[in-house]
Amino acid sequence: MGHLVLAATVPDAVTFAIAAVITVTGALGVVLSRNPVHAALMLIMTLFGVAVLFVEEDAQFLAAVQVIVYAGAIVVLFLFVIMLLGVDRLESLAAEPMPAQRWVALGLGVLGLAEIVLLSRGKWPLGAHSVAGTVNGAGQQNVSVLGKALFTTYLLPFEITSALLVIAVIGAVVLARRPRTAGTAEIEDHAEAEDT
Amino acid sequence: MGDPLFAHGVGLAVLIIAIVKVVVVFAVLMVAVMLMIWMERKVISDMQNRIGPNRAGPFGLLQSLADGIKLFFKEDLLPDKADRVVFRLAPYLTLVPAFLIFTIVPIGGAVDIAHHAFDLQVADPPMGILFLLALSSVSVYGSMLAGWSSGSKYPLLGSVRASAQMISYEAAMGLAVAAVVLEDHTLSTRAIVAAQSASVLHWGVIQTGIVPFLIFWVAATAELNRPPFDLVEGEQELVGGFHTEYSSIRFALFYLAEFMNMITMSAIMVTLFFGGPDGPGFHFLPWVWPILWFVGKTFVFLYIYIWIRAALPRLRYDQLMDLGWKRLIPLALGWLLIIAAFRVDDVWGFAVFAGCLLAAAALGQSIRVGQRRRQIEAETTGEGRAARAAKQVQLRALAARSEEGGAR
Amino acid sequence: MGSLDSYLPIFLMIVLGIVFAALSFVASKLLAPYRPTAAKEAPYECGIVPTHEPTYRFPVRFYLVAMIFIIFDIEIIFLFPWAVVFGQLHTFGLVEILVFAAAVFVSFVYLISNGALDWGPMKRVQPIATDEVRTTSTTVRRVGPSSGEAA
């Protein structure tokens, strides 16, 4: 039972509470929505809540990344895939594709929660600023401090990211490419559906 | 750093000033949208030798207001195949980002009222211009979900087109903004404007060498779905695009957001590339002149948007995608690297320039290879064969019909 | 001096925008008539009674575009902190971003050379015009009392 870090001012605590509620509501919505598009929308809501939490922690750049990359690009991809496959109307939840997945998910979730509790060791920053310390410059300094850290100390991880991006592109192309051997009816159907 | 309004924490007076700022900007934006709609109709009709709206108010100035009021009295239909929640949510997702982007635009200098100094700018968040990118990526959802939730063919097609178009040009836009950040070393819009204020030669458009401005302009036009990039609402193909099923005030809000985005994007262009409120001032009422300069510069861009709409035909979808991905994005990236290299020294500059030329050649080759490969693929797999088969059937039918006609 | 303060006007603007939209809907509800019929609520098809369900499948290229957009978005987002601190990094910063950009560019070239971003209509290898079935009589239909059924 650690002691709460209650250095936060009242507006900070209120912002934290609102953002936390938004985040958790969104997360529950993702899990509980029947319609995949609604689930994706709820995911956007969660990402926004997290972005607000980042802003509160003075992690300005991360907040922007959260919205630009996650909400602005990755969920768009999710929605495209949902629309691409047409699962938004046809999906039936009665048949479980992976029988044990609920229990595995529950177990992993409990494990994750235990990990968070263990790592935080009772330090709960309920709206207090910048517990992370040195990497975060305050306010507008944040991005330049982060930039300096990223492009000097953490240069290697940054360059390795580019390799990851290359792998992602190649993976996408290989997955999306039609098989070379033509002639089966299935391919023809696929090609026709593609010309809508 | 930041708005001096918040230098001493948030008190009641600060809160009131913030509220007044927000309300004033909101009201000014609404009026500006009304005038903009009127101006667009009037200028277009002048260019087409028509008179345009001239009944409501002097010179038809109140036409947009009349239209707005009329839309309140129109029946608000909800298609029975629509996803009710998302259908109702989509206008909010379109309208709120439209209002929000304008908050980071510096309108004028700093003023001092009742011992509270504050900037003439609604907000100067530390993430600065990233806020623009974040919101423009969020505004994709408005059109995407509006189209999807309508449960109807044309809106769905329109929305998928719109979202693909918007994300395609967002990348080019981000690269153009990065060039400005590279020149001015800051994300804050106020600091970007301050860095350009020394003289006209310090304006972003000159400092970054025009190309990023042109890229930003084209990308912004495409983001706005303005002509010549308005395929999203290509009437011949898609009826009204993603908001076909929207009627009454819901439609009005989409329309409002569209015009507001146009004003905001013009203002952002002025901020990033044309010094924002920078311009010669005079001793008489010193705080008014920057605002006038800002409004004047924004007006020029708004006029050009209308002019472009009257002058240019719509692109085809593949041309749009080719322009975005194969021209603008590589060009923006290359230009960014070149100006970065020239900032180090001239040797690096010319080396990177040469490297970019090589890369452009490689890109051109890969475009050709790609087109050829896709052609072959289409011939060997279903696509081409299906098309040929369809053509054959059609021709045979025609031949049969003409024989029949000849026999009679 | 929390930077959260500078987001206050943005928060106010969000509230104002939502309130404005909500009030507009309420006003429209109060002022507008509401007499729905089946025809009004049917999907808009330019007056034709809809027969087909819309296709809920889209070309795989849209998916590719979204995928590639993520890649570029990540690259661009890395460029911003780099651009802010570039004045301090100089040659070092230039070289590291050149390496990064080169990697992304190579994947971009690979993508383009695979034709993944080609949207154009297919150019037919077999030219239709030389087809022997296509003659004047097949191409131009005579309209008049002698012609067959009405089109």
Domain ranges of chain B: 25-73, 75-344, 345-408
Q: How far apart are CA B307 and CA B257, in angstroms?
A: 20
B364 compared with C148, residue with greater pLDDT: B364
C144 compared with B135, residue with greater pLDDT: B135
Please give the helix or strand (H or E) that residue B117 lies within, else none: strand B116-119
The whole-angstrom distance between A20's CA and the closest CA on chain C is: 16
In total, how many domains does chain C have? 1
Is the predicted pLDDT of residue C148 greater than 70, yes or no?
no
| Domains in chain A with CATH codes | 1-92+103-131 (1.20.120.1200)
Task: Please name the residue that has the structure tokens 């289409």.
Answer: B378
Mean pLDDT of chain B: 84
Nearest-5° Cα angle at A22, A44 to B141: 25
The whole-angstrom distance between A60's CA and the closest CA on chain C is: 9
State how far Cα C42 lies from the chain centre.
25
Q: Directed axis angle between helix C60-113 and helix A141-148, to 10°?
A: 50
What is the Rg, in whole angstroms, of the alpha carbon atoms belonging to chain A? 22
Q: Considering the domain boundaries, does residue C126 fall inside one?
A: no
pLDDT in tens, B328-374: 999 999 999 999 898 888 888 898 889 999 999 988 888 888 888 77
pLDDT at B7: 67
Domain that holds residue C41: 14-119
pLDDT at C147: 47
- pTM for the model: 0.84
Q: How far apart are CA C53 and CA A11, in angstroms?
A: 51
B121 DSSP assignment: S
Please state, in angstroms and as integers, the Cα–Cα distance from residue C7 to each residue in A55, A141, B3, B126, following that order.
9, 16, 11, 9
Nearest to A159 among C70, C73, C100 (CB): C100
Picking from B15, B177, B381, B385 by the largest number of A CB atoms within 10 A of its own CB, the best residue to mutate is B381
B283 compared with A22, residue with greater pLDDT: A22
pLDDT in tens, B138-170: 888 888 888 888 877 788 888 888 888 888 899
The whole-angstrom distance between C57's CA and the closest CA on chain B is: 10
pLDDT at B300: 92
Helix, strand, coil share of chain A (percent; to 5): 70, 0, 30
Q: Which amino acid is at B335?
A: W
The whole-angstrom distance between A117's CA and the closest CA on chain B is: 31
pLDDT at A189: 43
% of chain C exceeding 90 in pLDDT:
4
Establish if C82 touches chain A: CB-CB under 8 angstroms: yes
Q: How far apart are CA C64 and CA A87, in angstroms?
A: 18
Tokens matching residue B371: 């087109």
Highest mean pLDDT among B78-92, B153-167, B214-228, B371-385: B214-228
Picking from B375, B380, B385, B396 by the largest number of C CB atoms within 10 A of its own CB, the best residue to mutate is B375
Q: How far apart are CA C27 and CA B252, in angstroms?
A: 13
pLDDT class of C133 with cuts at 50, 70, 90: low
Is the predicted pLDDT of residue C75 greater than 50, yes or no?
yes
Closest C-alpha to B153, from C76, C50, C81:
C50
Q: Give all chains having 3 or more CB-to-CB distances under 8 Å with chain A.
A: B, C
Averages of pLDDT over each 10 residues, chain A, 196 residues: 52 85 93 86 92 84 89 87 67 66 89 86 59 54 81 86 86 71 43 42
Q: Considering the domain boundaries, does residue C40 fall inside one?
A: yes
Neighbouring residues of A108: CB distance < 8 A, sequence distance ≥ 6: none
Neighbouring residues of B342: CB distance < 8 A, sequence distance ≥ 6: B348, B349
Count the alpha carbons within 13 Å of B283 in the hemisphere toward its beta carbon. 0
The whole-angstrom distance between C123's CA and the closest CA on chain B is: 7
Nearest to B391 among C109, C121, C128 (CB): C128
Q: How far apart are CA B129 and CA B123, in angstroms?
A: 11
What is the Rg, in whole angstroms, of the alpha carbon atoms belonging to chain C? 29
Please state, in angstroms and as integers, the Cα–Cα distance from residue A1 to each residue in A121, A126, A128, following that order.
9, 15, 19
C65: chain B residues, CB-CB within 8 Å: 164, 167-168, 321, 325
Neighbouring residues of B246: CB distance < 8 A, sequence distance ≥ 6: B91, B146, B150, B254
Residue contact C58–A83, C-beta within 8 A: yes
The whole-angstrom distance between A113's CA and the closest CA on chain C is: 28
Is the predicted pLDDT of residue B268 greater than 80, yes or no?
yes
pLDDT at A194: 42
Residue contact A11–B10, C-beta within 8 A: yes
State how far Cα B396 lies from the chain centre.
48
How many CB atoms sit inside 10 A of residue B404's CB?
12
Residue contact B383–A191, C-beta within 8 A: yes
Residue contact B152–C44, C-beta within 8 A: yes
Chain B residue with Cα closest to A62: B127
Establish if C60 touches chain A: CB-CB under 8 angstroms: yes
pLDDT class of C104 with cuts at 50, 70, 90: confident
Task: Identify the CATH number of the domain in which residue C41 sits.
Answer: 1.20.58.1610
pLDDT at B264: 92
Chain B residue with Cα closest to A38: B86
Establish if C137 touches chain A: CB-CB under 8 angstroms: no
pLDDT at B72: 86
pLDDT at A111: 94
Task: Please name the residue that has the structure tokens 């967002």.
Answer: B170
pLDDT class of C146 with cuts at 50, 70, 90: low
Mean pLDDT of chain C: 76
ipTM score here? 0.81
Q: What number of H helices and E strands is found in chain C?
A: 4, 0
pLDDT at A4: 45
Residue contact B133–A68, C-beta within 8 A: yes
CB C50, CB C43: distance < 8 Å: yes
Closest C-alpha to B21, from C6, A139, A15:
C6
What is the Rg, in whole angstroms, of the alpha carbon atoms belonging to chain B? 25
